[in-house]
Every structure is written in structure tokens, then in C-alpha cells.
Structure 1
């Protein structure tokens, strides 16, 4: 029960402090990432030009790097912004979208990991496996692997997650039917969310922005990652339950924004499905 109160306090910190979250993200979901950041109470900035990213990140409270729409221009900006963030102890969140789909994408993600201290890596199982160096299949930028059977996650996946976190000295959030978040020691499983979230482009990217918002407000890496993932899952369930019979994925997306905007401690306590081990 204490973990739900920690998430609630972290949410209140975001709303009180309104951290500036610097995004270098992809153009498919950039508007969604900006709006979800505003919905939770943080402030987004989406600057990606090499001539200003160093200056912008110094003004920011966290940095989100999302490689969804890679190009050589923004890769340089990502690396330089990440280095500057490290210099000023500003937490960096990496979303390795589609890693494993192409050699170039995998190479760039590994380069970012090698040159920047990453506070949290959030991705699906295929992406995290590919980043670790394990052969994994992706379908475009989506995972082709389902690591949960019903409600349960295998001990081998939990062990893999811990190994990843320890090897890269980071927190990893592997999102799927059941989400896994670990710093290599403590491990949380989150069973919130709804399968209809997979019908909306950018829910993973938005989740990463939420993590960046929590880190920017002072949450430590593990709790910030957990709070971001749980917030997205809880909001997804609340939003789905508010759909009228004739409404679909478009309405769900707007209702997710509304659910996060109005998210309360009571809803976190009533809807949260978090296990710790």
C-alpha cells in the first residue's frame, strides 16, 4: 500500500513543481508527448536543433530521448544534449523505439547508451533484448514478442530485466501486458492497462514522457519509472471504462489525457495493481 502513496506524492510534486521536460523525440508522436506532459502538470519543450539543445537542456529538469524517427541531424543533437545533461546531473530517459528493426537503429541506440548515462530505459521486450544484444524480432517499431502468459511473467524475464539494469547501471522499464520495472535489485510488476492501448500510436512514447515528468520533479530513478508506467496503465483503464459503446480509439486517446489530468490519490489506490519483489 505504501508504494501507492509514494506514487501519489510524486504526482503531487509534478503538479507543484511543474518541471521542464526537454524532449528530443519523434515527429509521429511529438504532439501527444507534449500534451501528456502538460496533462500530468509538467511543462514540455521539444527543441532538437544542434545549435540550441545544449543551452535548452541546462534550463530543463529532465531530458527525454526518443529514437522513433531517426535521422542523422537529430542523432547528433541527442548525444550532445545527453552529454550536457549528464554534466549538470539532469536525468535522461531513453525510449529505444524499434531497436532491432534495422542495423542502423540498433547501432544508434547502443551508441547513445555508451556515450550517455541513462537514468531510465523504457521499451518493449523486443527493444530491450535487442539493446542488450539478444536476437529479438520486431514488427516495424512494435514488439513481436509477448513476454506474459495471462497475468504472469516468467522468472527468466525478471532475471533478464535485472541483468540488463545491472549491466547498464540503469533502471529498465519493460512495458507489455504486464510491465516490469527494476533497478537490478527491487523489481515491480504492474498489471494495469488495457489491450486497446495498443491500437493508439504513441502510448509508449507518452509513457516515457510521464517518466521524464516524474524524474524532473525529483523522483528517484526507480520510483519515477514505476510512477510513469503505473500512471499510464491506470489512466488507460479509467479511460476505457469511460468509453461509450459507439466510441473507439480516438475517444480513448482523449480520455487518457483527461484521466491523467484529473488523476487522484484515491484512483491510484483503487486502481493500482503493483507487486514488488
Structure 2
């Protein structure tokens, strides 16, 4: 099994500057926009129900993050997801802390009906979405990616989508092909909203590479992994790490992505 041409994915993104419609949480808006800009995409943060459907139809991709959800936002998310499904616009679901409350479960159940292109989540969230017992606490992952691999595969097959499960080790599957990605840096969990930003970055890569959603997803995660590793080499703590990460994403080249990605194709399950 050959690895996808990840560098080509980044080159295409930068050549097209895809517009990514982000319905994300209050905490993540600024950092997510900066991550997309640094990598080469164009962010937009809209959540009013009066305009989300119209804007989703003209965006390259949609990214939905339920972090600071409320009833009006849930309505907007469903309108946007329904539009994306109807127009063939790729969209990414980030089910933040889905196992924590019944409301989050209800919202995610409704959103799954509109067939996300990619689900980007941690292990606990994947297990909750797949209907497995999980002791998730807030947005923190209390299950390892190894424990949740089968849940990710089942979820991908059930939803007919890509599941990108991130943590110390990332696991990406479309239900048939499975990949493991390593790298990053221990400071990454010390900076809030980086996971939220990854979800939007996946949307940007899929928008630019719609014919190749699986390698596009891998490329997004690899970008983050390599940039995180480089940022950690020069950062003295979480604050300087966040700045260094933006610089590292901006400086990343397609050749870096192809040559430095710690990507492993796994045997079929």
C-alpha cells in the first residue's frame, strides 16, 4: 500500500486558497482563523441561522465544532450541514465532548444524518459517537487511540466517511484503509483549541482536494504534526509555542510534507 502524495495536497491548497466556513466555538474562533491563514486557506466565521445556508453553498468546505453549543447555534449547524449535504460541499464534524451531555448527543445525532465527509475527534468522542461506553470528561481524552481504533473503523463504515482520531498518535480510517500518524510535541495539549483548528484545517485540505478526501485528511494532520514538532524545538512554553506553530505552518513546504510525515499504512482489520 503506497502512501498518498501528501505534499501535492498542500501545494493544491496553497494554489487554490479554499474558503472554509467555520461554525466553531467562541474560544477557538481567533486561533482557528489564524491557523487557516498561516497554512494558506481563507477562513470565515458565520453562525447566524439567517445566512449560514447561503454561505455554505458558496464555501469550499464547512467545519462544524460543537464546543460552545446553544440552541440557536444547533439550528445553524443543522441548516449548514443540510445545505452541505444537498450541494455536495465537503464538511467536517468536530463533536467536542459529545459524551458529556444529552444535548450534545442529540445535536450530533441530528448532524450525522447529513453525512459528514470527515469526523475529527479524540478517542473518547469517537467511542461515544460509535455508541460505546466511554468515561469522557469534558474535552479531554480519557481513552487511548489504540483502544478506540475499532470504534473508529465501525463509525467510518456506518457513516461512510473518514474518521480522523487524534491524540498522541493519530489514527485515520475510511473503514477500509487505515493509517497511523505520529509526531507533534508534548506542548500541543497545553494550548487550547488546537484540536478545533485541526478540524478546520482538515476541511481546508478536503476543500482543495475534493477527489482525494483520505490523503487530504492525512495531509492536514501531517502538517500539524510536523509544524508542532518544529515549534516545540524553539518554544519555551505554551505561549511561545502557539506563536512558533503559526510560523512553522506558514513555512511548511510540500517537500517537507512528503519527506517528513511519520505515516504508517496499517493492515486491514
Q: Shorter chain as normaliser: what TM range?
A: over 0.9
* Structure 2 counterpart SS, 1:194: coil
Q: Count matched residues.
A: 265
Larger RCO (CA within 8 A; separation ≥ 6):
2
* Structure 2 counterpart SS, 1:73: helix
Aligned-residue RMSD, C-alpha: 1.5
1:263 and 2:252 are equivalent in the alignment: yes
**Alpha-carbon offset, residue 159 of structure 1:** 3.0
Report matched runs for 1:39-54 at 5 Å.
Answer: 39-54=38-53
Report matched runs for 1:92-111 at 5 Å.
Answer: 92-111=91-110
Counterpart for residue 208 of structure 1: 199
Counterpart-to-counterpart distance in 2, 1:135 and 1:58:
37
**Alpha-carbon offset, residue 270 of structure 1:** 4.3
Counterpart for residue 178 of structure 1: 169
Counterpart-to-counterpart distance in 2, 1:41 and 1:69:
26
Counterpart-to-counterpart distance in 2, 1:60 and 1:108:
23
**Alpha-carbon offset, residue 242 of structure 1:** 2.1
1:130 and 2:132 are equivalent in the alignment: no
Counterpart for residue 273 of structure 1: 262
Deviations 1:130-188 (A, max 9, x none): 111112112221112233xxxxx46xx43332211101111001101110000001101
1:22 and 2:13 are equivalent in the alignment: no
Instruction: List runs of 5+ in structure 1 lacking aligned partners.
Output: 148-152
TM-score (norm. length: structure 1): 0.92
**Alpha-carbon offset, residue 2 of structure 1:** 5.9
* Structure 1 counterpart SS, 2:180: strand
Report matched runs for 1:5-84 at 5 Å.
Answer: 6-84=5-83
Counterpart for residue 213 of structure 2: 221
Counterpart-to-counterpart distance in 1, 2:159 and 2:2:
28
Instruction: List runs of 5+ in structure 2 lacking aligned partners.
Output: none
Q: Is the 8 A contact 2:11 2:254 kept in 1?
A: no
1:192 to 178, 183, 189: 183
* Structure 1 counterpart SS, 2:152: helix
